[in-house]
Structure 1
């Protein structure tokens, strides 16, 4: 009898629980994934991805076909969510920033980060938090930015001196080559205290063979850091290198290590032996910072990949924006004329433009904002990985999903920008008294925001604005003979200008103002 009572109670409880679950499931509306193609079991849309290169154009074409500002494509077991709407982007990077604060684990990022020991591309966790704190508090804080002003000023003068020599000797200037190496020189000066990896600097101020090899390796690695490699979505294929991506990343990383590591190893030794005691650059900061017990906070295995990561982060975005801006202005002389008039009004022709002039160069910065908007350096931001299930714009985003904010789509969204495909700097002038290059509302992306945003927007602003200002103030530019317009086409495989911009320059200032190469 007692046993029967227990059994009846158990059955009753079970029935009540089942009934409750049934009622709950009926009442609860199922939240669907964002719209997108279904794909095959296990492999998802990988076959279509492999046939559709570059992948970013394929993903954007899917969104256009579906007429959606958020889409989901399954690659292997990973949901890849693409976003072209600023409102949805703000929901992700502002309202739910902590939830989307991780990065994917890929072959390329593992190689570059030495097993995820860095800041930018390391998945969320204790190592990321440690390195992010070091970078934010010790390297890119306002005090450090002011402290390193003289090093940046040296590189601004070096750029002007190098351009002077090119204009005097041949007149012809490859803007892609110049802008990339100016940015590379600046970050090398801040990081290592030197602009060149060669013992014998080029007499005209240009890069050496070593610096060119280093720059080419950086851009090769940047192009494949997140490139929809098949083994990133089907990990069992890692090692087969079916895309050829793995070898490219290993080789590019090794070239950068070849130039960075001897400097880092020698500097660590100098600090340990007491032969160096003064902090002069970022590398010194990394080596000298201590933990609570007074021991070095960072190991060489953490310093080396973090420096590589930060050196890689500097050249592509500013150089791309300035090259596109110059190309657009040559085709629209009225914009170029207004920029020159602003420089003449704010700075004049009796001194060179300096960082202290940046707050007043609103039209020059509006030109750069428009270049960032219309001609982003990459189609997507680096992926944000969901740390748990989430709901975004009413859609279900599963844990582990890769969320890609479309720089291309945000900046060209016709619901946000009138006449979005036209280059119109004036659209940025009516918003506030001082124009800034950052865009907190994510209507386009210059330097991203949130926990995974750009760590040094002040440095990015200084490099980008000074580069364009020095190019415009010091020289008059025109196209080579027999050319009347720049073909404003993107490359077939990335977002860079299809052909490097080459122009002919003439001196615009009194000759005594141009610095000499040191």
Structure 2
């Protein structure tokens, strides 16, 4: 009996010792800046961190200036973070972009975890992103995609083929869909040169928002250097924030005036709904009503694309959302695209709100977490030939793997309580847009050269070279004209 107690005591001591120990730390840290010098080279951060994972394992820590940060790149580690420790990791770290561009952290995706975040996320989920609401607005998505296709056909009247910049076209199509759902109007509606220039400025501001949101800022790692504005990031963010605020302020005033005048719309858009729900009496928030409405309606455009000839699309006169369920190979293409090139290769960082135990190690409050998706998505223990583009894997060996946060080997939208709430919307828009484009046109690259897939850093994983393709109409394409 005495011997049994001694053995049990030793086990408890070993467990306690392991829990008090710290996660492995990458070598090469410098005083003050930590490991920043290893990430500030020519290659994107997710590639540099992936190379470090080869040496230090699927979970390790680095110092981003004064902030200790966990880098996770295996599904087992990520699953423990977003299940067992999901609430502990539910906070967002503060940063310059989130402060300036996000209305001082009022944008729901960047807000600190708490009552305000829960209230706004619930409102967004119920009033915009619920399956029922998305179904009632599918006519908007179909109409905007078809209108975008018709614009290409207008260009084809004078030419046999059109050179199209895919990122711009996809972005404009998505932005028009989102604008009609959120504020009830197309961003691209213009009848004069002045209006057209204004729309172009708006588009560029939204694009700049995404670029700046994912940009590394020295003062985020070394707060005491903010006054220097190294690289001019703060100045650029303030300029973009002003441009975006001018846009959202104009939308807000139009909605307020219509409400005051008693104007009636057939369908309320999201800004209408927010103006009827949000009041100054809300005790969960320190923000005024206008700020909450503008911040919540601030548009995050995220579009994934892939071009591949799919002959089965010929059978439809015009592609509808109801067709998507039978386009299984198209869905496989999108999954494989998101696996290899997730929109945000490094998920938006999390910050630990309380001490926790992670894979047996003690992790102190305030530690940050970054999930390296390309490394996780290309795990050779999970995926055969992980760097090869093989959509067929999602029809065979991985046919049951989804992207909705429950299969941790593929989480392009994140997982847990801070995962992207717009998964269904993003998939609907992407599937419909790509299917319609493939149905209407033959697609080829200039000179039939391979597409340059070299990546740059940034929140939306931009390519180093914009993707341009030639479009020529298919025989049945007159249905879109």
Whole-angstrom CA distance in 2 between matches of 1:427 and 1:262: 47
Instruction: Give me the whole-angstrom Cα distance separating, in 2, the residues matched to 1:270 and 1:305.
Output: 20
Task: Report SS of the residue matched to 1:208.
Answer: helix
Indicate conservation of the 8 Å contact 2:106/2:296, yes or no.
yes
Per the alignment, residue 100 of structure 2 pairs with: 111
Distance 1:104 1:286, change over 3 A: same
Give me the whole-angstrom Cα distance separating, in 1, the residues matched to 2:81 and 2:145: 37
TM-score, length basis structure 2: 0.88
Bigger drift between 486-495 and 410-419 goes to 486-495
| 1:488 is the counterpart of 2:452 | yes
Aligned to 1:157: 146
| Superposition deviation, residue 418 in structure 1 | 0.7
Q: Does 1:340 find its partner at 2:338? A: no
Q: Higher mean Cα deviation, 452-461 or 48-57?
A: 48-57
Which 5+ residue runs of structure 1 have no aligned equivalent?
A: 1-22, 330-335
**Take 2:455 and 2:337, find their aligned partners in 1: how far apart are those partners?**
16
Residues 509 and 287 of structure 1: CA distance in aligned 2, closer, same or farther (over 3 Å)? farther
Partner of 2:377: 411
- The match for 2:7 is none
2:100 equivalent to 1:122:
no
The answer as to 2:87 corresponding to 1:98 is yes
Q: What residue in structure 1 maps to residue 480 of structure 2?
A: 514
Q: 1:225 aligns with which of 213, 216, 219?
A: 213
Give the deviation of 1:380 after TM superposition: 0.3
Greater displacement, 444-453 / 494-503: 494-503
Q: CA deviation at 1:242?
A: 0.8
Q: Which moved more, 1:469-478 or 1:275-284?
A: 275-284
Tell me the alpha carbon deviations over residues 491-515 of structure 1, each in whole angstroms, 9 at most, x when there is no partner: 3445333322222222214354114
Structure 2: gaps of 5 or more residues: 1-11
1:398 is matched with: 364
Shift of 1:52: 6.4
Deviations 1:253-279 (A, max 9, x none): 222222221111221232244334764
Secondary structure in 1 aligned to 2:83? helix
Q: CA deviation at 1:65?
A: 3.1
Distance in 2 between residues matched to 1:293 and 1:242, nearest whole Å? 40
2:253 to 265, 271, 274: 265
Once residues 197 and 259 of structure 1 are traced to their aligned partners in structure 2, the CA distance between those partners, rounded to angstroms, is 13
Specify the alignment match of 2:240 in structure 1. Answer: 252
How many Å apart are 1:485 and its aligned residue? 2.4
Cα distance in 2, alignment partners of residues 192 and 386 from structure 1: 35
After superposition, the Cα gap between the structure-2 partners of 1:501 and 1:293, relative to the gap in structure 1 and judged at 3 Å, is: closer
- The change in CA–CA distance for 1:93 and 1:156 in structure 2 (over 3 A counts) is same
* Structure 1: distance between partners of 2:389 and 2:15: 52
Structure scoring higher RCO (CA < 8 A, sep ≥ 6) equals: 2
Using a 3 Å threshold, how does the CA distance of structure 1 residues 169 and 179 change in structure 2: closer, same or farther?
farther
> Which secondary structure state, in structure 2, belongs to the residue aligned with residue 500 of structure 1?
coil
* Equivalent-residue separation in structure 2 for 1:184 and 1:232 (angstroms): 30
How far 1:26 moved relative to its partner?
A: 11
1:187 corresponds in structure 2 to 178
Aligned mate of 1:304, from 288, 294, 304: 294
In the alignment, what sits opposite 1:167?
156
- Cα distance in 1 for residues equivalent to 2:451 and 2:141: 33
Structure 1 window deviating more from structure 2 (363-372 vs 219-228): it is 219-228
Q: Equivalent of 2:35, from 6, 27, 45?
A: 45
Query: Which residue in the other structure is 2:226 paired with?
Result: 238
Output the CA distance in 2 between the equivalents of 1:26 and 1:474. Answer: 62
| Displacement after TM superposition at 1:410 (Å) | 1.5
Deviation at 1:430, TM superposition (A): 2.3
Q: Against the structure 1 CA distance between its residues 135 and 65, is the aligned structure 2 distance closer, same or farther, given a 3 Å change threshold?
A: same
1:392–1:118 CA distance, 2 compared to 1 (3 A) = same
Root-mean-square deviation (Å): 2.9
Partner residue of 1:58? Answer: 48
How far the C-alpha of 1:360 sits from its partner, in A, is: 0.8
Q: Is the 8 A contact 1:46 1:230 kept in 2?
A: no
Matched, 1:450 2:416: yes
Do the aligned partners of 1:118 and 1:131 also contact (CA within 8 Å) in 2? no
- Please give the alpha-carbon distance, in whole angstroms, between the structure 2 residues aligned to 1:38 and 1:435: 38
Distance 1:509 1:400, change over 3 A: farther
Tell me the secondary structure at the aligned position of residue 79 of structure 1: strand
State the shift of 1:435 in Å: 8.1
Q: Secondary structure at the match of 1:28?
A: helix
Looking at structure 2, the residues matched to 42 and 159 of structure 1 have their Cα atoms a distance apart, in angstroms, of 51
Give the superposition deviation at 1:467.
1.0
SS of residue matched to 1:451: helix
List per-residue Cα deviations over 1:195-250 (Å, max 9, x = no partner).
22554279xxxx93333322222222212214331111222222321132212221
Displacement of 1:488 in angstroms is: 3.4
